[in-house]
Amino acid sequence: MNDSRSGFGSLHMPRSRGAVSGLLLIILGVWGALIPFIGPYFHFAYTPDQPWAWSTARAWLEVFPGATTAVGGFLLLISGNRATAMFGGWLAVIAGAWFVVGRTLAPTLRLGDVGQPIAATDAKRAVIEIGYFSGLGVLIVFLGGAVLARVSVRTARDLEYALLAEEEQESADSSGAFAASAAPTEVLEPAAPQSHRREGKGGLFRRRRANVAGD
């Protein structure tokens, strides 16, 4: 049996390892991608105060990082492979960081401007800013970093999971090999030559005729 501490066995992990974090990241990603379009319905928006108003700035600064976060969370949710889970975690971390710094880099990259928070007070303006960008991005980075720390460390449970997966694979391989070796084989025996039978019959007739002639 291969050593589970190296090779492909070291990549196995329980699916539950990143399931909760993955689900939370999916929710946060969907929030970040959809809130600029549905926020105006609840008076929680940036200018222009119009639902489902598309712009290049919203695409790059909100929809893109939100969708990336959701994809990373989905990979964490379904993955039983350590490499895939870490890739999903890094996607979430990068997307969260882009939520935080994207507006600052937008003028330099010519991505446009998402506008200003529509609020009558400074408190509501701060809440909108936190809910759309800075606070959302920090929370995504925190979850992504936490899940990266979890999946990068191998525990005793991971070793047991890898050993169990290898044993099941070897059992399946041995069962297939045994079934193939135990399959019945049909042995064909060579048929007796017909020419000898005919000659034998002909010889018998000739002997009888000879006896009759002799009598």
pLDDT, tens digit (0-9, with 9 covering 90-100), for 102-130: 999 999 999 999 999 999 999 999 999 99
* CA-to-CA dists, residue 124 to 33, 44, 58, 159, 203, angstroms: 20, 9, 21, 50, 119
Q: How large is the average pLDDT for residues 35-42? A: 95
Domain residues of the chain, as ranges?
A: 11-169
pLDDT the model gives residue 21: 93
Torsion of CA 69, 75, 76, 81, to 10 degrees: -150
Span 121-150, mean pLDDT? 95
Cα separations in angstroms, 190 against 25, 42, 134, 187, 193? 72, 90, 86, 10, 9
> What span, in angstroms and rounded, lies between the C-alpha atoms of 54 and 25?
24
pLDDT at 147 over 70: yes
Q: Give the three-class secondary structure for 12.
A: strand
Q: Taking the mean position of all CA atoms in its chain, how far away is CA 86?
A: 12
Tell whether the model's pLDDT for residue 65 goes beyond 80.
yes
Coil vs helix vs strand at 192: coil
